[in-house]
Amino acid sequence: MPGFGSIPDLASILGQKQPIQLLTTLLRNDTVPHALLFIGGKGVGKKTTAMAFAMACNCLAHDDRHFDGGNKTRTVDDHTTEEQLTAISCGCCNSCRKIQSGNHPDIIHVEPTGNVIKISQIRDLCHLLSIKPFEAKLRVVIISDAQAMNPSASNALLKVLEEPPDRTILILTTIQMYDLFPTVVSRCQLFRFSPISRETLETLLVEKQGANSDEAEIIATMAHGSLAKALNMMDPMIGADWITRRIWLVDEIESLPSEPVGSLLAFAADLAKKKVLLDDSLDVIKSWFRDLVIYKYYPEKILNKDLVDRIQQASKKMTVASLLEKIDFIRMAQKDIQDNSNLRLTLEVLILRLARV
């Protein structure tokens, strides 16, 4: 895989064989639809793939390639070579360089402002799309986290989808399609992105990030199939040693039932101090309770395998109903935090609830 700061070509996208093959076929057959919807969890490569696809659609080197029956024929140093067709971009032409640097006038990004994509953003987009592309073969609009569109924005976008501008494709990304208007979904071709396998993430962390095998296994487990999360957890600039932090979180969670209220509120305060780490911290706690449930039925399927002895002991102390309730409490808290509820209060309520056996 190319450097993590660059945009890879489609053939180099990790762990997404099916959507990449389909996108490659669309390019090969020149049948790219006017609207695509990328569906999948956070950090699995949806936006990276959208950027790579924009590059492949506009790569100037493709003009010199002849595609025939699934093979491409091209001349290199006066020699003809046959290669299996793959939707790659050269990364060197003027178009690719502009897209790599974020300076291409016809590659347009729309992202939430705060937690919402507002109608004003879609109206601005509609105005821009009323003008012909400046230089691209295919203008590409990438709407990240499309589920953040409010109803007015969704209705405004629907008009664009019903009457798509010339030489323009729209790529929407979302975690799950049920958060979008059905009328928006029905006008897009769907591409499903899977979580990246733990084995793939482990290999990546060892080979590209210099992690040892034990560290890579733990980080890959905590990442839950998200490449972005795995890389963030390895990034010293984020300010967390996740190997140590995971053990601290488990220690705190196990001690909750015996702690006085003051200590519970102090733990909530500690979590609130580092908001950038909060969602991942709550995921770690959630996976702990998940393992306590799973151990009762399929102990070989627990995620935190290095903590199996602790999981065995803790699992005996709690009922399945109690554990499932705690997992639901965490999910509710994560949603409330995403909806901008009072952070400190939300965490205090959560920790007090988790302290109940």
Q: What is the CATH number of the domain that holds 97?
A: 3.40.50.300
In a domain, 284, yes or no: yes
Write the pLDDT tens digit of every residue in 152-182.
999 999 999 998 898 999 999 999 998 899 9
Average pLDDT (215-234) is 91
pLDDT of 128 over the 90 cut: yes
End-to-end alpha carbon distance in the chain: 46
pLDDT at 154: 95
**Is the model's pLDDT at 114 over the cut of 90?**
no
Evaluate whether residue 105 is within a structural domain.
yes
Q: 210 falls in which pLDDT band (50, 70, 90)?
A: confident
Domain boundary among 134, 167, 192: 192
Diameter of the chain measured on Cα atoms: 78
Domain assignment present for residue 2? The answer is: no
145, 16: one domain: yes
pLDDT (tens digit per residue) in 132-155: 999 989 999 999 999 999 999 999
What's the rounded mean pLDDT across residues 182-196?
A: 95
**Measured between alpha carbons, how far is 68 from 82 in angstroms, rounded to an integer?**
10
Please tell me the predicted confidence (pLDDT) of residue 195.
93
Q: How many domains does the chain divide into?
A: 3
57 plus 81 within the same structural domain: yes
Tell whether 204 is covered by a domain.
yes
Are residue 269 and residue 173 in the same domain, yes or no?
A: no
Residues 6+ apart with CB under 8 A from 352: 261, 264
Question: Mind spelling out the 3-state secondary structure of the chain?
Answer: CCCCCCCCCHHHCCCCHHHHHHHHHHHHHCCCCCEEEEECCCCCCHHHHHHHHHHHHHCHHHHHCEEECCEEEEEECCEEEEEECCCCCCCCCHHHHHHHHCCCCCEEEECCECCEECHHHHHHHHHHHCCCCCCCCCEEEEECCHHHECHHHHHHHHHHHHCCCCCEEEEEEECCHHHCCHHHHCCCEEEECCCCCHHHHHHHHHHHHCCCHHHHHHHHHHHCCCHHHHHHHHCHHHCCCHHHHHHHHHHHHHHHHHCCHHHHHHHHHHHHHCHHHHHHHHHHHHHHHHHHHHHCCCHHHCCCHHHHHHHHHHHHHCCHHHHHHHHHHHHHHHHHHHCCCCHHHHHHHHHHHHCCC
Residue with token string 């924005």:
153
For residues 101-116, give the mean pLDDT.
92
pLDDT in tens, 48-99: 999 999 999 999 886 544 333 334 433 333 333 333 334 577 888 899 999 9
Q: Are residues 152 and 211 in the same domain?
A: no
In a domain, residue 118? The reply is yes
Chain mean position to CA 7: 15
Say whether both 202 and 188 belong to one domain: no
Share of the chain above pLDDT 90, in %: 69
How far apart (Å, rounded) are the C-alpha atoms in residues 90 and 253? Answer: 50
Res 82: pLDDT: 32
Q: What is the CATH number of the domain that holds 259?
A: 1.20.272
Residues 266 and 171 in one domain: no
Mean pLDDT of 210-218: 90
Does residue 3 lie in a domain region?
no
pLDDT band at 12 (very low <50, low <70, confident <90, very high): confident
Q: What mean pLDDT do residues 325-345 have?
A: 94
Domain-ending residue, one of 192, 219, 249: 192
Task: Based on the fold, state whether residues 251 and 203 are members of the same structural domain.
Answer: no
For residue 80, the model assigns a pLDDT of 33
Judgement on whether residues 268 and 250 belong to the same structural domain of the protein: yes
pLDDT at residue 108 is higher than 90 = yes
Question: Mean of the pLDDT values across residues 325-340?
Answer: 94
Decide if pLDDT at 284 tops 70. Answer: yes
Mark whether 85 and 27 lie in a shared domain: yes
Structural domain boundaries, residue 75:
10-192
Do 79 and 131 lie in a common domain? yes
220 falls within a domain: yes
Note whether 266 and 330 are same-domain residues.
Answer: yes
Entry pTM: 0.81
Q: Mean pLDDT throughout 240-264? A: 94
**Predicted local confidence at residue 217, as pLDDT:** 92
Q: What pLDDT was estimated at residue 85?
A: 37
| Pair 50, 178 in one domain | yes
Percent of the chain at pLDDT > 70 equals 89
Torsion-angle region of 83 (φ positive above 0: left; ψ -120 to 50: alpha; else: beta): beta
Residue 196 has φ and ψ, to the nearest 5°, of -75, 135
In a domain? residue 265: yes
